[in-house]
Chain A
């Protein structure tokens, strides 16, 4: 078979994957970049795309909702990612030991992750209603005088979202950590016990460094996931136009599908992508100092 023919066969083999990639990834990505410099409403057809240069990006600087979306997204990220990873690690460490009903407990923690986030968010919303379980507890057990309006009070509006996402994410992180913990060589623990090392030191000096690649993986994955937080807010804060609990993706969605500003939404999406890329790069640079392969 000559080289040309070989190439054609090669292209034929990769064409399904290549076409899928081009249609579903490359084209939307490039089109989003293009749209971010335009003003366009998809209902009006292709011919009404209007080039506006950097105007969308300038508008963002003066857009309170966008700024709140960015601010809140960072708050969600800085709370959800460390808390969920620390709690998952503690639970995994405990469950890795000899405990009763280990499998049942593991399942309990994992179920939220594989359940419908829509249904779970709806349940959470019920818990945090004005007359919900949380307020009932706070009033009757802790003597609070007034119920909290969790989703509209600016001081508390983010708490139900943060708790919900942590609760859902812990299942996934727990399973990953449990797998990682089982791969830590037992001899190291036995040797440390012979040396009389305390449990805390055993964890800090042996376990933590050896599972640090897993921690790094979880940090990267969860940072990206939380940066794209949408479902929980969209479902739990349905109809709320205040921006106490909004996020960047919620604002992108609202710009595109509530206000039909697809150019502006694309510009916001581009900014989100830049944030994610920068943070991921920082992570990869920083990991050299604390991740042990």
Chain B
């Protein structure tokens, strides 16, 4: 009797838990949307290719703007990073839709918390940052299929955002409205003091390292007091140089194999390490050791220049980060002279979609359309960029800094307009995602071994390639 009762209790509980956890919709979407399949190759274009004469406005705002509802919006930016202004402008169009802003941290803990919130039905619209997070959500069916809505309303992804590359199996789940530009931010006092002349409109890594050498300051003992340059602190971002060379797919060669052991990748990583060892670049290991960031190193005066993609967010806040110099901007360096620089434009980075637990789909759709178009310009306040072809790039300086006059007190306006979020510059895209997260982890781990000296660059990147190809093979 005792055994039977205990067994019954266990069985009842297991069934209850299974019933709570099962979700038919999830399964269907997950089965239909495998991240490994990749999009159609005809989506391989970029924002600069969007048709400038196409109608990209008529579909955005509903005929009936009096619809009401609540939208729970998740994005890594807080209200004072442009999101309050964005929501206020949205409410001037849709006064009856309440948007609840929820800021999540764009790190692994933050993303897992967000995924759990989506599964619990606590989110309506989510802006996913970084491709691996997007792929994880798509392959697990966390976004709903927007294809019918997109088709019914005649929305052209190409005309609006210049790409169809971030779809799955021909279905549209997200709108690729946010981007990033990598550039070099430069302390103009240090630049001028070093006698480096005009800011470059194209340069190679060798030239940037040489300029860093000239801007580096040392004390009487020869120890570096101000580093002339720095890479961005995120190790995965070292592979932006693949985007720069190929214009697509940071982890893959054209045949889908792993790109890590390409000679130009090895050469560049070796150059970066040498520049650090020479004391002209701030050490990537030091960033990692202290969880330090390039924007701190730059605003603290520890580096005279740095590769960055979000510095505008910090230097516009003159109260917290007061600087006594103007910041100039130069393009992301190229591997070789004369190459097309696919890193100089806006590269896709964030994607908005409606989640499967959405409570009020009509309100969420109205908001998603608005945020992905008119609203996306507010991403620039947080240092990111809009990829919508209707965004007025000339007006962004005033949006970020208040006015061009105010901007001129902080940045070199001409170089800012030219190299920070300029949608007319060449940019890159992704259309291969096989084992994306694994490749990200492998790259990060093995590059670190090269930086710590545990392995030579050759050894580290050859091993990483071997593991990367195995991961690709296993996932294919």
Residue A198 at the B interface, CB < 8 A? no
Asked if residues A152 and B30 are in contact (CB atoms below 8 Å), the reply is no
CA gap between A154 and B290 in the complex, in Å:
15
Q: Check A46–B142 contact: CB distance below 8 A.
A: no
Quick check: which of B16-24, B211-219, B423-431 contacts chain A, the rest being far away? B16-24
Chain B residues whose C-beta falls within 8 Å of the C-beta of A115 in the assembled complex: none
Q: Please, how many residues of chain A have a CB less than 8 angstroms from a CB on the other chain?
A: 36
Chain B, 255-282, CB within 8 A of any chain A CB = none
User: Considering only CB atoms and an 8 Å cut-off, how many residues of chain B contact the other chain?
Assistant: 45
A154 contact set on B, CB distance < 8 A: 452, 454
Q: Which B residues from 428 to 465 make CB contacts under 8 A with A?
A: 437-438, 441, 444-445, 448-449, 452, 454
Q: Bound complex: CA of A257 vs CA of B136, how far in Å?
A: 12
Q: In the docked arrangement, what's the CA distance between A195 and B30, Å?
A: 80
Whether, in the assembled complex, A2 has its beta carbon less than 8 Å from a beta carbon of chain B, the answer is no
CB distance from B47 to the nearest CB of A (A): 30
Is the CB of A44 closer than 8 A to any CB of chain B?
yes
Interface contact B18-A46, CB-CB below 8 Å: yes
Determine chain B's interface SS by DSSP, over half rule. Answer: helix
Which residues of chain A from 72 to 112 have a CB within 8 Å of any chain B CB?
none
User: Contacts of A51 on B, CB cut-off 8 Å?
Assistant: none
Q: Is B193 an interface residue (CB 8 A)?
A: no
The verdict on B413 contacting chain A, using a C-beta distance below 8 Å, is no
Within 8 A of B (CB), among A31-47: 41, 43-47
Q: Which residues of B contact A284 (CB under 8 A)?
A: none
Interface flags, A201-233, vs B, CB<8A=1, else 0: 000000000000000000000000000000000
Residues of chain A having any CB pair with chain B under 8 Å: 7, 11, 18-19, 22-23, 26-27, 41, 43-48, 65, 125, 129-130, 149-154, 238-243, 254, 257-260
Contact indicator B290/A129 (Cβ below 8 Å): yes
Known A43-B136, A45-B23: A239·B291 in contact at CB below 8 Å? yes
Give chain B interface residues in 76-131, CB to chain A under 8 Å.
107-109, 112, 115, 119
User: Closest CB-CB distance, B210 to chain A, in whole Å?
Assistant: 25
Rounded to whole angstroms, the CA-CA distance of A134 and B322 in the bound complex is 29
Question: Any chain A CB within 8 A of the CB of B54?
Answer: no
- For A257, the chain B residues whose CB sits under 8 A away are 108-109, 112
The answer to whether A44 touches B5, judged by C-beta atoms less than 8 angstroms apart, is no
A234 vs B14: C-alpha distance when bound (angstroms): 33
Task: Give A129 to B291 CA distance when docked, in angstroms.
Answer: 9
Picked from A22, A23, A151, the residue with its CB within 8 Å of the CB of B288 is A151
